[in-house]
Structure 1
Amino acid sequence: MIHRTTIKAYQVGLVFENGKLNTVLEEGKHWVLGSKEVQVFEMKQSFVAPVEIKLLLQNEKLASMLEVVEIADGEIAFYFVNGIFKEVLVTGRYAFWKGYMENTFIKANIQKVAITEAIPVTILENMKVRSFIRKFIVASNDTGLLFVNGEFLNELKAGTHYFWNNTITIDVKTVDRRQQQLEIGGQELLTKDKAGLRINFFVSYKVVNIMKAVVENKEYEKQLYVAMQLALRAFVSTFTLDELLAKKETIGETILEETKTAMTHLGLSVVAAGIKDIILPGDMKEIMNQVLVAEKKAQANSIMRREETAATRSLLNTAKLMEENEMLWKLKEMEYVEKITEKIGEITISGSGNIMGQLKEIFVK
């Protein structure tokens, strides 16, 4: 039995006899004898072997027409067609036709942590690749610490970092390097004279040694909170309420000095600290208000007494001068007459006599 088959451009025909590759047919018309089977393959597609590819490659002509890529365990390959990414190839053997398209590959060992292969970021962000990648973002004001299987490996700068997605445990801890503020609020404290009060305290700090803060210490912010809390309690207990209120502005500096060593061990630099509020209980507040009112009244009485004393002393001096100087006495009389006349609206004269003489007797003695 003879039959004819036509192989078009960019097609390849494989002739099988009893399941074994017999002949490779290229473009053109061919006569096939006997009960041989012809399978036609498109060169624009990857070659999917109908039988074990190792057996097919024993045919030298077919082997010269195919590009074979083997992907070992723990590897993947990025497959590009004419320079454009097409897909990810996992473990296995793949064959691609030569000549029709330019096939390129980037093999990668995904059993390690870092991506050392020259793979563009746009490829790493491709949906087909995401399952093979772990992605971590370190913000612009942060520093990242890379831990592999629980052990610190290295620091990561701000930016996007990619790692292979495998059985290796990867963790990235980020630390903000900007100045931050920690509130230590509602501290119920007793002064030296047993006065109960509540203090709201604040601390401004920066992480200056990220290794000490994160690697050598656990939860450095909680440790900072406790250190400042204890220092504040110790400070308040050594002063009476009045002394504490007088030292309110300098408490922060004192506490900073006392906790300086502890902050160094935590890898922190405390920029500022201070009291935001001192809140007294209701009864204590009422007593303080009474004391304040009493002090103000005493101050007012003292001022009034000083003014009265000054006025009396001034009158006494004036009297002495007038006693010693008759002219000054007359001038003072005229001054008072002038003040009296300013208050008089009109004068009504009754009776008879010398009017001018009467006025002189009224105003001038």
Structure 2
Amino acid sequence: MFKKVTIQTDERGLLFRKGSYDKYLQPGTYRLSSFSDETVVVLNITKPFAVEGKDLQLFLHDDQLLRELDVIEVQDHEYVLHYEDGKFAGLLTAGRYVFWNILKKHAYVRVDIRQPELPAEVDLAVRPRLMAYCQTFEVASYESGVLFYNHVMQKELKPGKYYFWKGPTAVTVKTVDLRQQQMDMTGQEMMTEDKVTLRLNFVCQYKIVNPLRALEIKSFEDQMYIQLQLILREYIGTLKLDDLLKMKQEIAAFVLSRLNEKSEDYGVAFVSAGVKDIILPGDIKDILNTVLLAEKKAQANLITRREETASTRSLLNTAKLMDENQTLYRLKELEFLEKICEKIGTISLTGGGNLLEQLNSLLGDKSAGKA
């Protein structure tokens, strides 16, 4: 009695005697005695080589079998990208893998994950399928990135998307905003030379031009804020309150020049600076309002006196002209009479004489008076 074993074209057989591997079987039909202790394990060559319950090492002494197998050893510090017929099939982690090389053409890309950045030969189309084994960092168009391996600075990164292996090396990317930024100092108390305590609102615009230097400074923004504070205290402490209120623009120019002296230390370029508000204590504000009111009153009194003086001078000049010119005197009298008549509804005259004579008598005869 025989038992028949058929091995198809896409299959291969492994013959075992008494449970031990004996030889490799090509496609075909084989008859085995039913009474023998021979068995055949049939494997599909489109799938990875594996025999259930048997260690791979049992088969590696068979040179005929090894010619049709690819044996891939992956070390602990490696990943292997597996391609079948030019298409990505999967990623192999540490271990031993065996693939049939008969029906499909296999290719392998071996990478050392101790070098975290993905090599250029890893196609961009494949990278999204590797997300379980790598991490990504993005640097926006208005940013600059700085790459760190195990907290040690490596290099500056331009805008783009970057892939790194998840491995023994800790990878971090810190980004720095290169757009113009603003630093506000609000309600900062300062004392002038004449011991007046005031509160100042100041603003400063800057841009980071050296990202590596900026990241080297701990609490970067806090240190710049303190530097601005010290410069303002230094300058305002040399000014009296009146001078300070008159020199707001000069303060901004001084502070900006002093900040630019420190710009390389912080890796920035200071663009502009300015005083937004000067807030005075209530009692000082009341005093200044009183002084301002007194000044305005004095100016008003001065203007009034000037007007009165000009008016008196004008009357004196008119009187001199009238005294020297009788015709002008009579015209002035008629002008006053006209103004009086504008305010009188009716005029009643008694006695003889015509109207002109009686009006003339009201004005009086100046020549007679002189006689």
Taking structure 2 as the reference length, what is the TM-score of the superposition? 0.88
1:295-345, Cα deviation, whole Å (9 max, x unpaired): 22122111111111111111111111222222222332333333334444x
Residue of structure 1 in register with 2:208 after alignment:
207
Q: Where does residue 158 of structure 1 map in the other structure? A: 159
For residues 100 and 333 of structure 1, the distance between their equivalents in structure 2, rounded to whole angstroms, comes to: 135
Q: Whole-Å Cα distance in 2 between the matches of residues 102 and 44 of structure 1? A: 11
Structure 1 position 251, deviation (Å): 0.2
Partner of 1:262: 262
* Corresponding position of 1:104: 107
**Which whole-Å CA distance do the structure 1 matches of 2:59 and 2:354 have between them?**
157
Q: 1:316 to 1:69 in 2, by over 3 A?
A: same
Maintained 8 Å contact 2:142/2:178: yes
Specify the alignment match of 1:223 in structure 2: 223
User: SS at the partner of 2:126?
Assistant: helix
Match of 1:114 among 100, 114, 117: 117
Q: 2:72, 2:96 within 8 Å by CA — same for their partners in 1?
A: yes
Which residue of structure 1 aligns with residue 368 of structure 2? Answer: none
Which is further off, 115-124 or 237-246? 115-124
1:280-295 pair list within 5 angstroms: 280-295=280-295
Q: How does 1:332-343 map to 2 (within 5 A)?
A: 332-343=332-343
User: Deviations along 1:51-85, whole A, 9 cap, x unmatched?
Assistant: 33343243343223322222223111112234332
Alpha-carbon distance between aligned partners in 2 of 1:364 and 1:54, rounded to the nearest angstrom: 153
**Residues 116-174 of structure 1, C-alpha deviation per residue, up to 9 Å, x if partnerless?**
25112332222xx2242232222211112222233322111111122222222333222
Instruction: Note the C-alpha offset of 1:364.
Output: 8.4
Gaps in structure 1 of 5+ consecutive residues: none
Number of equivalenced pairs: 361
* 1:224–1:263 Cα contact (<8 Å) kept: no
Distance 1:280 1:272 in 2: 25
Moved more, 96-105 or 244-253: 96-105
% of aligned pairs identical? Answer: 40
**Which residue is equivalent to 1:133?**
134
Q: Give the structure 1 partner of residue 178 of structure 2.
A: 177
Determine the structure 2 residue equivalent to 1:301. 301
Structure 2 distance, partners of 1:82, 1:317, is 119
**Is the CA contact 1:147–1:170 (under 8 Å) kept in the aligned structure 2?**
yes
**Structure-1 separation of matches of 2:264 and 2:332:** 80
CA gap 1:355/1:30 in 2 versus in 1, 3 angstroms? farther
SS of residue paired to 2:295:
helix
2:247 maps to a residue whose letter is K
CA–CA distance in structure 1, aligned partners of residues 343 and 48 of structure 2: 124
RMSD of aligned C-alpha atoms? Answer: 2.4
Q: Which runs of 5+ in 2 are unaligned?
A: 366-371
Q: Given residue 105 of structure 1, which amino acid in structure 2 is its aligned partner?
A: Y
Q: Of 75, 94, 97, which aligns to 1:94?
A: 97
Q: Deviations over 1:89-116 (max 9, x none)?
A: 1122212223433433221111223322
Counterpart in 1 of 2:369? none
Give the Cα–Cα distance (whole angstroms) in 2 for the partners of residues 340 and 272 of structure 1. Answer: 70
Indicate yes or no: 2:68 matched with 1:65.
yes
Kept in 1, the 8 Å contact 2:210–2:267? The answer is yes
Aligned to 1:193: 194
- Give me the whole-angstrom Cα distance separating, in 2, the residues matched to 1:61 and 1:259: 78
Distance of 1:164 and 1:275 partners within structure 2: 50
Q: Is the 8 A contact 1:67 1:97 kept in 2?
A: yes
| 160-169 or 224-233: bigger deviation | 160-169
How far did 1:350 drift? Answer: 6.3
Q: 1:351 to 1:323 in 2, by over 3 A?
A: closer
